[in-house]
Each structure stands twice: as structure tokens, then as C-alpha cells.
Amino acid sequence: MKKTIWGPICISAAVVLLAACGGGDKKAEQKSEQKSETPAVKDNSMVTSVAGKGKELIASKDCKTCHTEETKLVGPAFKEIAAKYPASDENIELLAGKVIKGGAGNWGEVPMAPHADIPKDDAKEMVKYILSVGK
Ligand code: HEC
């Protein structure tokens, strides 16, 4: 009696286990295949276009005579400014105002020259770019 009961149960249990393992393996294989087939393409087009505009604006002005991305010249490096200020709307507004009106005392005694000819929106784009440097 016992034999006839346990025999089929053992076999079906073994089949279930095998199927479960086999199935699992296949799923894992499929997943990794899918991953390698579709490389993660992050859509950064918005970010780059905004940063790109600010970068171009900075290049068209005199900023680079006193600032670089990486090293302190007369003014602080953009990297340092980015590390000091989070890219919040408030900071962008504040720093854009400083670019236009000039400023001193935050980084040392040397003041930044005012840039009264720069429209506020352009100054904001520049600041957005500056705050993205090194991040
Ligand atoms: C004559 C040199 C000079 C030029 C040109 C210049 N900067 Fe500056 N910049 C400075 C100095 C010096 C400081 C530090 C001022 C301070 O200590 O508050 C500074 C600070 C800054 C800051 C940080 C302000 C703060 O309060 O932390 C930003 C942002 C900035 N400059 C952007 C620009 C941009 C954009 C341009 C071009 C439109 C520009 N700078 C051109 C000298 C300059």
C-alpha cells in the first residue's frame, strides 16, 4: 500500500521541483538577455540643452576671464559654486541677480563685476549651467 501511495507523490514532487527550477532558470536567462539587448538609454536631452545654452551664453561673455569649471582664478571655480549652492529656484534667482548686479564677500574680498547688459533669463541659464558643473 505505502509503496503505491508514495511512489507517484515522490515522482510528481520531483517533477514539480525540476519544473520550478527549470522555469526559474529560463526566466532569469530571459531577463539578462533582455537587459543586454536594450542598453539603458537615459533621456538627458532636456538637461543637456538647458546646460548647453548656459554654457554658450557664458562663452559669449567675459566670465571665463575670472572663472573656469575646475580651478579658482579671480572668482571661484564653477565646480565650487555648484558644491556650495543646491540648484534650487531660489538660488538660481539669487545668483542670477548677482551675475547682473555684481557681488562680493561670499568668496573673498575681490568683487565680481556687474553685468547689467545680461537679461535675467540669460543669467538664469548661466547659473543653471554653473550649478550643474561637477554634479
Ligand atoms: C572680473 C572678474 C569676474 C568676471 C568677469 C565674472 N566673475 Fe563671477 N565672480 C567673480 C568673483 C571675484 C566672485 C566672488 C564674489 C564673492 O566673493 O561674493 C564671483 C562669483 C560668482 C558667482 C557666485 C556668487 C556668489 O554669491 O556666491 C557666480 C554664480 C558667478 N560669479 C558667475 C559669473 C558669470 C555667469 C559671469 C559672466 C557673466 C561672471 N561670473 C563673470 C569674478 C568675476
**DSSP-assigned letter for residue 67:** B
Residues 122 and 71 in one domain: yes
Pick 31 or 85 by higher pLDDT. 85
Ligand 1: residue of 53, 66, 81, 118 to mutate (most ligand atoms within 8 A of CB) is 66
| Structural domain boundaries enclosing 32 | 1-41
> Can you give the CATH number for the domain in which 56 is found?
1.10.760.10
For residue 87 and ligand 1, the question of a CB distance below 6 A is answered with: no
> What's the confidence (pLDDT) of residue 135?
80
Whole-prediction pTM = 0.72
For the stretch 50-79, pLDDT in tens is: 558 999 999 999 999 999 999 999 999 999
> What distance in Å separates the CA atoms of residue 112 and residue 31, rounded to the nearest whole number?
55
Verify that 22 and 75 share a domain, yes or no: no
Q: Quick one: pLDDT band at residue 125, thresholds 50, 70, 90?
A: very high
Last residue of a domain, one of 26, 41, 56: 41
Task: Give me the residues paired with residue 72 across strands.
Answer: 67
Residue from 110, 125, 113 nearest 60 by CA: 125
